[in-house]
Homo-oligomer: A and B are copies of this chain.
Amino acid sequence: MTSTDPRPIGVFDSGVGGLTVLRALRRRFPHESMLYLGDTARVPYGTKSAEVVTRYSLRNAAFLAGRDIKLLVVACNTSSAVALPALRATLGVPVLGVIEPGARAALRRTRSGVLGVIGTPGTIASGAYQRALAAERPGIQIHARACPLFVPLAEEGWVEGDVPRLVAREYLAPLRQAGIDTLVLGCTHYPLLKGVVAEALGPAVELVDSAEATADEVGTLLEAGTVGRGDGSGLHLYVTDLPQRMPELSTRFLGERIDAAEQVDI
């Protein structure tokens, strides 16, 4: 027996990458209303310091909290890596990041215990995935690698062909040599590059998509009644810079064409 709660689920990201998380949530929970905030004026977070990322994350969360959300999903890996404690300390609703769900899903899949994680320089340098994995299963072997060119490749739409294939091969060669059997895609943009990543690693390596893993855990919260179930299906998108490329980028990242995103100054 779970109570209902018509308030929306809030999702924020540094930009449009988090739309892959929103996509997983929309597909899984068609009866939940959702608000998405993309901090497109300050994107990317992945190359910024923990201090600056935390400051921006708190502002994003306060904006969504002001719109009466029942759950905050931090779709940005870099924010999840550095800002969760600060967010949990200040928000009155449950806060879910993408890192712990991704780490837990990877541990359920690996057979050899030799895992890889890829992400932005900020996420990898924070050591957050490495810590989350080691905390859940001490003694696990983790190989981490920052792949800074993957985000611009995904945003440019260069997700197949020679350039992304070569870039993936270059970045992933050390992970392949280390003999990983599972790879966490630790950045919301990376699912778009699944094809070339899988090709560079070979068929024996399983890819874990943090967006899907996070949607799984939202499901757990709804089933457990920690968060009440919704009864709508509304979606509202906010961005902090002009939403010029939104129709194109929403089609690519969300899988739905959104013509109107509301620009807000926060």
- Pick the interface stretch among A91-99, A160-168, A183-191, A211-219: A160-168
Nearest Cβ on chain B to A77's Cβ, whole angstroms: 17
Interface mask (A124-162 → B, CB under 8 Å = 1, otherwise 0): 000000000000000000000000110111011010001
User: Which B residues are in CB contact (< 8 Å) with A149?
Assistant: 149, 152-153, 156, 158, 163
Bound-state Cα–Cα, A119 to B162, Å: 23
**Is A3 at the interface (CB under 8 A from chain B)?**
no
Bound-state Cα–Cα, A153 to B147, Å: 11
**Is A244 at the interface (CB under 8 A from chain B)?**
yes
Q: Which of B47, B155, B167, B242 contacts A43 (CB 8 A)?
A: B47
Do A244 and B49 touch (CB < 8 A)? yes
**Is A1 at the interface (CB under 8 A from chain B)?**
no
Do B148 and A152 touch (CB < 8 A)? yes
User: Which B residues are in CB contact (< 8 Å) with A167?
Assistant: 163
Do A49 and B163 touch (CB < 8 A)? no
User: Which B residues are in CB contact (< 8 Å) with A148?
Assistant: 152, 155-156
User: Which B residues are in CB contact (< 8 Å) with A244?
Assistant: 49
User: Which B residues are in CB contact (< 8 Å) with A49?
Assistant: 41, 241-242, 244
Closest to A163 in B: B166
